[in-house]
A = this chain, B = another copy of it.
Amino acid sequence: MAKNRFHSNDHIYLQVSEGIENMIEQEVLRIGDKLPSVRVLSEEYGISMGTAFQAYYHLEGMGLIESRPKSGYYVRFNHHRFPELPNTPLRDAFSHDVSVKEMISSIYTDIVANDVTNFALAVPDPSLLPAAKINKSVMFALRNTRNNCINYENTQGNLELRKQIAKLAFNWGGKIKADEVIITGGCLEAITMSLKAVTAPGDMVAVESPAYFGIYQAIESLGLKVVEIPCDAVSGINLDHFKKAIRKFNIKAAVFVPNYNNPLGSCMSDENKKQLVEIITKNNIPLVEDDIYGELYFGKARPKPCKYFDTKGMVMYCSSLSKSLSPGYRIGWAIPGRFFDPVNQMKRIQNISSPTLTQAAMAHFLLHGRYEYHLKSLRKALHTQSLRYVQAIIKYFPKDTKVSRPQGGFILWLELNRKVNAFKLRTEAMKNKISIVPGKIFSSSNNYSNCIRLTFGKPWSDEVDYGLMMLGKMIGKMI
């Protein structure tokens, strides 16, 4: 038996499957190729049959290989078959008032709809979330918090929860203290309060184009104006265009999602993040950094946020547990750097404090290492789902469909044939109880009218398969 040639700090089956994944990636193994039998694999790698089986099982789960009865495993999928990336117009930044309402309102009514195949909402499916363990944390919090959580919590937030959030920053090399953290009612509240703390009505704020519609609405509700900065579908914010925009407009703040941006799925390189922080610091432009997708990476390491490169306290870091653990608990936070005081005050003025019970429960959950444990399986599940969804899009959607390649999160951005009106597509889809989000609401310009955002938070199922097939047909008819 060959010597086991694996380093011990990762599961061996994962290292084996990764090797095979690379071979598929590099087209050493091609679609339809037969893979070695489990026995041969075990001998070749010097691993047990069980581990070999587990490696194949894992690759199968990711949709990369398939088992054919009485025949063995075959390569099923190749990343190179990925469709083209969506285009993002590289025009100069422009400023304007925003106004997007009815469509967004209709999307949020889907939240509680039971009978809709929901590709619109950006949340992981409840089946991927550890409800039973969270319940236990709630019970613990009720029993062990002073006055059974009936009284007001500190306005800045539960101390243990703030400690745990500070600890999360270790994952990206950040040194955050509990007293720098403010607990908010989800990330959106953190963003709104952060923005409000550094702007006055009429000010101009830079956002990515396309950008999450919630950010547009927050900006609009504060009486601010938007400057859209072009983004690349892979690497995010175009820094040259951002610098140009700074020269052209009196930009007072920026709201960016550097990691797995919603809706593009782009992720800025460390080098670009560092440069970005230099630019905003030099120009005295506070950066509200939305990092809610940062923990949901498919690769080996968590991407760093801009906050990592921030030495002057100019980055107002915002995040939450809503995309990764417990949307309904409404636990978010701001780490506003040098703007701590006004944000902390604003939380108190707006709603005194977040609920005591939900904070205490999440503090308990995080304190006991359950979040890290849960994230490991969630990341795997989402990675697998991303591959499955893209395969189905390739299969069912017209050939000219362009699709983003997110390396984290659960959001796909699709550029459809120019003839497709995504608003009409949504209406048509809703008749079939399928919900998507048209691209137009991710910008205040008239861009993206033939784009859609499609979330893959739902695990693969016949319902998802059918939904994507139906969508593909509808799009086909529109061309």
Let me know if B327 and A351 touch, CB within 8 A.
Answer: no
A62: CB under 8 A from chain B?
no
Q: Report which of B129, B154, B345 forms a contact with A101, defined as CB distance below 8 A.
A: B345
Contact with B along A62-73 (1 / 0, CB 8 A): 000000000000
A337: CB under 8 A from chain B?
no
Let me know if A357 and B147 touch, CB within 8 A.
Answer: no
Assess A154 versus B112: contact at CB under 8 Å? Given A135-B148, A217-B349.
yes
A461: CB under 8 A from chain B?
no
Could you say which interface size class chain A belongs to? 35 or more
Which of A180-188, A301-309, A382-390, A418-426 participates in binding chain B?
A180-188
Q: Who on chain B is nearest to A134 by CB?
A: B150
Contact with B along A188-202 (1 / 0, CB 8 A): 110010001000010
CB distance from A191 to the nearest CB of B (A): 10
Q: List residues of chain B with CB within 8 A of the CB of A352.
A: 108, 186, 188, 214, 330
Let me know if A327 and B357 touch, CB within 8 A.
Answer: no
CB distance from A372 to the nearest CB of B (A): 18
Let me know if A142 and B138 touch, CB within 8 A.
Answer: yes
A348: CB under 8 A from chain B?
yes
CB distance from A187 to the nearest CB of B (A): 9
CB distance from A125 to the nearest CB of B (A): 9
Contact with B along A120-145 (1 / 0, CB 8 A): 01010010010110110011001000
Let me know if B134 and A351 touch, CB within 8 A.
Answer: no
CB distance from A202 to the nearest CB of B (A): 9
Contact with B along A326-355 (1 / 0, CB 8 A): 111110000000000000011011111111
Let me know if B351 and A330 touch, CB within 8 A.
Answer: yes
Q: List residues of chain B with CB within 8 A of the CB of A186.
A: 351-352
A151: CB under 8 A from chain B?
yes
Interchain CA distance A262-B111 in the complex, whole Å? 38
A358: CB under 8 A from chain B?
yes
Assess A326 versus B123: contact at CB under 8 Å? Given A105-B345, A351-B188, A358-B358.
no
CB distance from A329 to the nearest CB of B (A): 6
Interchain CA distance A326-B358 in the complex, whole Å? 13
Q: List residues of chain B with CB within 8 A of the CB of A148.
A: 131-132, 134-135
A218: CB under 8 A from chain B?
yes
Let me know if A189 and B350 touch, CB within 8 A.
Answer: yes
Interchain CA distance A185-B347 in the complex, whole Å? 11
A394: CB under 8 A from chain B?
no
Q: List residues of chain B with CB within 8 A of the CB of A14.
A: none
Q: List residues of chain B with CB within 8 A of the CB of A349.
A: 188, 192, 214, 217-218, 221
